[in-house]
Amino acid sequence: MIGAVTLEGKGSRNEKLLPAIDWLLAESGTERHAIDLFAVTRGPGSFTGVRIGLATVQGLALALNKPVVAMSTHEAIAQSVAAGGGGAPLSIADDAGRGEFYVSRFVHGKEIEAPHLAREVEPDALRVADFVQRENVAAACALRAVAIAASGALDQYADITPIYVRLAEAEVKLQQRSGGQ
């Protein structure tokens, strides 16, 4: 069984995530120890959101001694599109703020261009914001993780290093200060 929940609204992700996990487990009648595998996206996305998600999944997986499958948010989306019959080249774009976008390219769900920053996006690019209006990225990630585990490729998806693409605002300011000395 795969479980996923989507939360929207104001407030701290940190305050919502663990209660949402508890709710999902209770609603599905699943005990924590029955979890076989954890799936998580590692970005690109908000610095805080990526860190909270990765730290939470790492902690749960470590406590339960279960494997983690980590992938880019864009890969989870691309695999979902490819599973639905979309084999054409696909650009995925997400708002990165500051007038920029995180962009990746895929063919048949396989990444051919890693996430990078762009000022403009192809007109036919799939926007993450549009995808989440009709699909659940967490569920797409979980389905991909199950396929990865079934293929025996867990080791290829064990890297939980965040995909930030660019420095955080605080890091940029720190570099500017140290470069100006």
DSSP letters of 65-110?
T--EEEE-HHHHHHHHHHHTT--S-EEEEEEEETTEEEEEEEETTE
Boundaries of every domain in the chain: 13-166
Question: pLDDT over 70 for what percent of the chain?
Answer: 92
136-173 in b/e burial notation, b at 16+ Cβ within 10 A?
A: bbbbbbbbbbeebbeeeeeeebeebebbbbbeeeeeee
Question: What is the pTM assigned to this prediction?
Answer: 0.86
pLDDT digits (tens, 9 = 90+) for 86-137: 678 999 999 998 899 999 999 988 999 999 999 999 999 999 999 999 999 9
The token duo for 100 is: 């920029």
Q: Is 40 exposed, middle or buried (0-12, 13-18, 19+ CB in 10 A)?
A: buried
- Amino acid (one-letter) located at 39: A
| Domain 13-166 grouped into CATH 3.30.420 | yes
Q: Give how far Cα 85 sits from Cα of 81, 82, 137, Å.
A: 7, 5, 17
For residue 46, count other CB atoms closer than 10 A to its CB: 16
Hey, is 38 helix, strand or coil? strand
Average pLDDT, the chain: 89
* Phi/psi of residue 74, nearest 5 degrees: -65, -35
- Angle at 97 (CA atoms; ends 94, 99), nearest 5 degrees: 95
- 89 alpha-carbon distance from chain centroid: 20
